Amino acid sequence: MSHSTSMTEANAPVLRVRDLRVYYETPKGDVLAVDGVDLDLFEGEALGLVGESGCGKSTAAMGILQLVNPPGRIVGGSVELGGRDLLKLSEEEVRQIRWTRLALIPQGAMNSLNPTMRVASQIEDVIVAHEGAQRKEALRLRILELLRRVGLPERVYDLYPHELSGGMKQRVCIAMAIALNPRVIIADESTSALDVVVQRVVAQTIQRVRHDLGMAMIMIGHDMGLMAQMVDRIAVMYAGKVVEVAPVRALFATPRHPYAQLLIDSVPTLRERKPLRSSEGITHDPRNPPPGCIFQLRCPHVMDVCRSAAPQLKRVGPGQWAACHLYAEPAEEGGRHE
């Protein structure tokens, strides 16, 4: 797989997330699902967002899209898209930005389409909502072109979602996402609910469409193998925080954060079965994280400073950033800390 875009940090990012906090209210206090996430997404790049279940990656995506449902709420931070902070806009302004600039390929392929509307109407309504009413025939041709682009036959136009397979539904969602040619697409575990063969086809469809249209994409998932093939950079999340961001090759070759190291070490290869090294899951109470580093309870390299001071993201290599006290000074090329 080729990585189509080269990433340079000099460019201004299309999407710039700073200190995003999304909390879920529970009777025993707030769950800090996303607690101070920083992300930059550059023009045309694919950024992978990985981490174990419950680490807050999907919640972070919903926070960026301003679609956090109660009992969740966005507590603070900023989500700048094309220079405008979405959190400061009115609801109507956010509505107009949605899909025209920021689209979503949803998580549940099986249930993401309205069962009582034909495929065509569901693509049509988003076009009409943002561009106003237009000639039926023009709309029809445009929708057929979108379907063709994601490799769906014309007959899908008149079908209802229950008449499609899981992979076809997911491709309808991709066609929908590119309908208004947004600059940023968030793909939230878009291939997780599919079997591996269909998963590959859908992933290739996403890649092709992205290549053709040149949009930037955040891909959320936990399939490290798929990520390695599809994204330019990877951000690793743990317990509501980004612990490491790195170009995909650097992350696989030299992961710096101890959690990222555990994660990469657990990726099996064809020749080698690997034991799952990070088996415990998030160990602390997410309502009441310990002071200092969030990974201290599971970290093999834990030090005294980790129990008092929370580490910030620090540059640890070319384009590689890690939030860990092991790297007090910016490190140049170096081996794994084992």
Partner 1 sequence: MGRYSIGFIAQRLGIFLLTIWIAASVIWLIPRLAPGDPISAMIMRMSSSGGRVENADKIIAGWKERFGLNDPLPVQYVRYMGNLLRFDFGYSLAHFPTPVADIIGLALPWTLGLLLVAVTLAFFIGNFLGAIMVWGKTPGLIRAVIPMFMIFTSIPSILAAIFLIYVFAFLLEWFPLAGSYPLGMKVELSWRFISAVIWHATLPALSVVLVNFGYWTLGMRGMMITVEGEDYIQLARAKGLKPFYVLYRYLVRNAILPQITAFAITLGSLVSGQVLVEYIFGYQGMGNIIFAAITSQDFPVIQGASFMLIVITALAVLIMDLTYPLIDPRISYERN
Binding residues for partner 1, rule: CB under 8 A, are 65, 67, 69, 94-100, 103-104, 106-108, 111-118, 125-126, 129-130, 160, 162, 173, 176
Q: How far is the CB of 118 from partner 1 (least distance, A)?
A: 8
The answer to whether 95 and 141 are in contact (CB under 8 A) is no
- 305 token code pair: 């400073």
In terms of CB distance, is 40 or 124 closer to partner 1? 124
Q: How far is the CB of 108 from partner 1 (least distance, A)?
A: 4
Q: Do the bridges between strand 216-220 and strand 15-26 make them parallel or antiparallel, or are there none, so unpaired?
A: unpaired
Q: How far is the CB of 42 from partner 1 (least distance, A)?
A: 22
- 10 token code pair: 């000099």
Q: How far is the CB of 147 from partner 1 (least distance, A)?
A: 17
Question: Other C-beta atoms within 10 Å of 274: how many?
Answer: 10
- 293 token code pair: 């580093």
Residue 140 DSSP code: H
Q: Do the bridges between strand 184-188 and strand 241-247 make them parallel or antiparallel, or are there none, so unpaired?
A: unpaired
In terms of CB distance, is 120 or 260 closer to partner 1? 120
In terms of CB distance, is 94 or 236 closer to partner 1? 94
In terms of CB distance, is 37 or 94 closer to partner 1? 94
Q: How far is the CB of 165 from partner 1 (least distance, A)?
A: 15
In terms of CB distance, is 129 or 313 closer to partner 1? 129
Q: Is 197 exposed, middle or buried (0-12, 13-18, 19+ CB in 10 A)?
A: exposed
Q: How far is the CB of 120 from partner 1 (least distance, A)?
A: 13
- For 332, residues 6+ apart whose C-beta sits below 8 A from its C-beta are 317
Please provide the DSSP assignment of 92-121 as one string.
HHHHHHBTTTEEEE-S-TTTSS-TTS-HHH
In terms of CB distance, is 172 or 262 closer to partner 1? 172
Q: How far is the CB of 86 from partner 1 (least distance, A)?
A: 12
The answer to whether 187 and 217 are in contact (CB under 8 A) is yes
In terms of CB distance, is 188 or 232 closer to partner 1? 188
Give Dmax over CA atoms of the chain in angstroms. 68
Q: Containing H/E element for 187?
A: strand 184-188
Question: What is the spatial distance between Cα 36 and Cα 290, in angstroms, rounded to a whole number?
Answer: 15
